[in-house]
Every structure is written in structure tokens, then in C-alpha cells.
Amino acid sequence: MAIDMAELTELLPNSVIKDIIDFTDIELKDGRMSTRVTVGHILTDEEKSKMKSEKIIGIDCITHHRYAPEIKKSYFYVV
């Protein structure tokens, strides 16, 4: 894993930590290793403001369910 869980809990608010549904280790286009974190809801502006860090990128990313586009989830990358 690209990041330690203790570090992750320091970076994220409790509302985000409770709703994490997936971790995926990936390699970014620039070659850095990262962890993609998928959250079961759309991040609020308050959550995004608490997550301002150099280690978190792509905080505004949203994924849609393949067969039900009305189901949306946020994801971001932790470097």
C-alpha cells in the first residue's frame, strides 16, 4: 500500500473515514505510487476543505455506476 493507515486517518475527517468503500494501489501517469480511495458518497465542500493537503490529489473526482448513472461516488488519490 502506498500510504499507512495511521497517516490516512490523520488526513481525513471522520465522516469520510466511516464511508470508505475501497482502496486501490495504482501508479500515476508521472510514475508515483498512489492509493485511490473511493468513498460511498459525494464529498461535501466542508469535507473537501478539511482534506486540503499536498498528499491528496483529485479531490473533485466523481465516478458513476456503470448501469445506474444516478449512483455517484467520490474518489481521490493519496500520494
Residues 35 and 77 sit within 8 Å (Cβ to Cβ)? yes
For residue 25, what is its C-alpha cell? 494501489
The per-residue pLDDT for range 23-40, each reduced to its tens digit, is 899 999 999 999 999 999
**Does the predicted TM-score (pTM) go above 0.75?**
yes
Other C-beta atoms lying within 10 Å of the C-beta of residue 9: 12
Cα dist from 65 to 14, 18, 30, whole Å: 25, 21, 27
Mean pLDDT (whole number) for 59-63: 94
